[in-house]
Structure 1
Amino acid sequence: MTERVKDTKEMIRQMRPALRDGSYHFVHVADTELAARAMLMSIASFAEDEGLSLVVPAPALTELGLSDEMPMRCITLQVHSALDGVGLTAAVATLLADNGIPCNMVAAYHHDHAFVPAEMAERALELLQDLAD
């Protein structure tokens, strides 16, 4: 793995946004048995006071019996951003917001991920590629 990047301008320059295949859904699961099954299928989770929030691939929705409210696409920022880096998330979210594209950012250990409505994903990808250039 490459060295972590901390400088704001360098994180943006190196972000190499890539659109992941498929669509994903943010869901809430309060039932512990369903949550245990859903966790195995999720790509991200967060324990909130109201229950477990998960990001699951679209095919898992039917199997889990969950509703299909808003299909999202995931754009992975492929720079290995430092956990204490400042500004990458703000730059991405601000650019997308300025262009009317909703964005849910998920920061993981190696990369940041921008989830945008499926129908806006290609435009969001173009904007982020232009920002990196």
Structure 2
Amino acid sequence: MRPQLHPDRYDFTVCENAPPDAFAIVCEDEGLTVIAPRNAGEWARISLSVHSSLSAVGLSAAMAKALADRNISCNIVAGCYHDHLFVPWPRRQDAMAALAALSETAA
């Protein structure tokens, strides 16, 4: 999986217009959910460096279980090439360790 921890903090907010630095935008009935880097953000972003398929079965579940087993919440955003996991900022190193352990067992 080769997880990569990004140095920026991220925030999830609802906006009418997406800011230019938005990482992801989700259009919901209630408004635009924007994920963007913010100094006071509560989330860390971990990206999988390997190309992941949108049709892969079980990858998200395996990652979610590895993190849940350590009581780490996770929000996963999938792009066409990579998965991005948002975990609580204070638990980012714990999440990296959980994903590294998962990678070792899958190898």
Whether TM exceeds 0.5 here: the answer is yes
Q: Distance in 2 between matches of 1:124 and 1:80?
A: 20
Q: CA deviation at 1:107?
A: 0.4
2:48 maps to 77
Q: Distance in 2 between matches of 1:52 and 1:20?
A: 23
Does residue 47 (structure 1) correspond to residue 24 (structure 2)? The answer is no
Higher strand share: 2
Higher helix share: 1
Does residue 124 (structure 1) correspond to residue 104 (structure 2)? The answer is no
Q: How does 1:1-133 map to 2 (within 5 A)?
A: 15-29=1-15, 31=16, 35-36=17-18, 38=19, 40-59=20-39, 71-133=42-104
User: Which stretches of structure 1, 4 residues or more, deviate above 4 A after TM superposition?
Assistant: none
The alignment's TM-score, normalised by the length of structure 1, stands at 0.74
Q: CA deviation at 1:79?
A: 1.5
Gaps of 5+ in 1: 1-14, 60-67
Q: Distance in 2 between matches of 1:83 and 1:116?
A: 21
The alignment's TM-score, normalised by the length of structure 2, stands at 0.91
Q: Distance in 1 between matches of 2:80 and 2:6?
A: 18
Q: Deviations over 1:42-67 (max 9, x none)?
A: 000100000000101014xxxxxxxx
Larger Rg: 1
